[in-house]
């Protein structure tokens, strides 16, 4: 299957760029309307999107249909590709026996990951569009339980929480305290037991002059850590609030 995008065209005659959504739930649109796909086709598109590079047919088939025989796995892959071709969608390209998602397809998790890397780059200015992409990015396909999804889900989760922490720090330095606190809370929500996430949030509260909020956040974290892991906050964390405790 070869092609540069989806067959549909916009009203001005230009081809529409399909958009694949993998954060929070699977969704595909052709630029205007949602596209309905069966689950095997969804899994194929999600796998190729997360793989991010041309991949041999055999690897795709055996990864997606692990419980099937070789013949059935290849048959399932052929069926999924046929369904795409039958429905007029040129979303997958093949070259020399390797499959890849068509470059014209925009993928939300790719955009969010690229924004996260830009936020983590100290040489770049904070871009509000990048902030929004990192802030709004959710969990990758939360209702899918395949091993290949779980690995990419954890990879993206780690990248996002690092970016949120860094973003909170940078916003605090710029005295954008409302956004800094909001971003810090998103980092804490993403990983409630992560000390560094609580720490940047406490920094934001302190920089804004909200000692009570800082101490409250510290106590929330200390309680979670004790209840769930039987651990205590680090000395670095304690040092943040020590001047507040008499």
pLDDT digits (tens, 9 = 90+) for 192-208: 999 999 999 999 999 99
pLDDT band at 127 (very low <50, low <70, confident <90, very high): confident
Going by CATH, does the domain composed of 19-104 fall within 3.40.50.300? no
Going by CATH, does the domain composed of 109-244 fall within 1.25.40.10? yes
Whether 9 has a pLDDT exceeding 70, the answer reads: no
pLDDT at 141: 97
pLDDT (average), residues 102-129: 93
Whether 8 has a pLDDT exceeding 60, the answer reads: no
Q: What are the sequence ranges of the domains in the chain?
A: 19-104, 109-244
pLDDT at 88: 78
pLDDT (average), residues 210-214: 96
pLDDT band at 87 (very low <50, low <70, confident <90, very high): confident
The first and second tokens of residue 176, run together, are 């954008």
Positive or negative, the Cα torsion across 16, 2, 109, 46? positive
Whether 246 has a pLDDT exceeding 80, the answer reads: no
pLDDT at 92: 95
How far apart CA 59 and CA 65 sit, in angstroms, is 10
Whether 131 has a pLDDT exceeding 70, the answer reads: yes
- CB contact at 8 A, 170 and 134: no
How far apart CA 74 and CA 80 sit, in angstroms, is 10
Whether 11 has a pLDDT exceeding 70, the answer reads: no
pLDDT at 15: 59
Q: What is the SS3 assignment for 206?
A: helix
Whether 6 has a pLDDT exceeding 50, the answer reads: no
């Amino acid at each position: 299957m070869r092609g540069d995008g989806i067959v549909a065209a916009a009203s001005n005659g230009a081809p529409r760029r399909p958009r694949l959504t993998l954060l929070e739930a699977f969704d595909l649109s052709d630029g205007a309307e949602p596209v309905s796909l069966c689950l095997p086709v969804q899994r194929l598109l999600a796998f190729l999107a997360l793989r991010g590079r041309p991949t041999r047919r055999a690897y795709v088939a055996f990864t997606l249909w692990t419980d099937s025989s070789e013949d059935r796995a290849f048959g399932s892959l052929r069926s999924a590709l046929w369904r795409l071709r039958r429905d007029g969608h040129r979303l997958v390209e093949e070259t020399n026996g390797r499959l890849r998602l068509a470059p014209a397809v925009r993928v939300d998790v790719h955009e969010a990951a690229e924004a996260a890397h830009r936020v983590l780059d100290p040489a770049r200015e904070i871009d509000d569009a990048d902030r929004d992409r990192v802030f709004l990015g959710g969990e990758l396909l939360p209702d899918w339980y395949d091993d290949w999804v779980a690995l990419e889900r954890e990879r993206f989760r780690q990248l996002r929480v690092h970016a949120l922490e860094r973003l909170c720090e940078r916003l605090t330095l710029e005295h954008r305290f409302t956004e800094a606190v909001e971003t810090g809370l998103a980092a804490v929500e993403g990983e409630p037991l992560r000390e560094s996430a609580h720490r940047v949030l406490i920094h934001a509260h302190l920089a804004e002059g909200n000692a009570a909020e800082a101490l409250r956040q510290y106590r929330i974290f200390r309680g979670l850590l004790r209840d769930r892991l039987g651990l205590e906050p680090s000395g670095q964390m304690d040092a943040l609030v020590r001047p507040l405790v008499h």
